[in-house]
Amino acid sequence: MNIKSLVIKEGIERLGGVRKEEFITTAGQRANRKVELDVLNEQKNLNRLLRQMVIGDLATKLTNYEPDLIVPIPKGANHLGKGLAQRLYLPVGYLDWKDKTPGAKDIQPRTEHDRELIQAAGKIALIDDVLTSGSSLLAVCQMNEMVESDIVAAVVWDRSDGSYKDALPFPIESIIQEHIPLWIED
């Protein structure tokens, strides 16, 4: 992990982005270690500075891929996606979950305009805040509107064990790659 990634990781941890809390992941797994990056959306000076560092690092990681469109994974990455799109002078195609229950993962473009943007894009950058199992990214890349596009994903924190890599047919760039098991006994 480089210095910038370490600074971002430390900042997220100090702002309470990694905490002990029982929850069910979007893939339906029971967990007690939550990585929640909503702290980046708060309008406090440190949070804004950290958010700008994250956006800058994601922009750098995506430069070689030359995406036409930014598509954030709702809802956690919407703010990051918007900031990243502004930084790269790109449009944003927003999505909404119709059904996010484990196993269903039904997602669609938010508006007809978003659908048109996604269908017209040749290279799409999917943006996610936290990668746990890859199930959200997989659901998005399987949308009918995406099948003709080249896809790359950029995530802030890849907390997975890496087992998703065979299931996802595109490269994934991450700022922080540190496995955090879903359940840790105290």
Which CATH number belongs to the domain containing residue 171 in this structure? 3.40.50.2020
Q: What is the pLDDT of residue 158?
A: 96
Nearest CA-CA partner of 124 in 174, 170, 69, 75: 69
Cα–Cα distance, 1 to 97 (Å, whole number): 33
| 36: pLDDT strictly greater than 90 | no
Q: What is the pLDDT of residue 27?
A: 77
Question: Do residues 167 and 132 lie in contact, with contact meaning Cβ atoms separated by under 8 Å?
Answer: no
Q: What is the pLDDT of residues 5-16, one digit of tens each?
A: 999 999 999 999
Residue 127 Ramachandran class (φ > 0 left, ψ -120 to 50 alpha, else beta) = beta
Q: What is the pLDDT of residue 94?
A: 98
Nearest CA-CA partner of 179 in 81, 122, 52, 165: 165
Which domain does 149 fall in, by range?
3-177
**Residue 106 banded pLDDT, cuts 50, 70, 90:** confident
In a domain, 162, yes or no: yes
Our count of domains for the chain comes to 1
Largest CA distance in the chain: 50
| 104: pLDDT strictly greater than 80 | no
pTM: 0.92
**Residue 102 banded pLDDT, cuts 50, 70, 90:** low
In a domain, 114, yes or no: yes
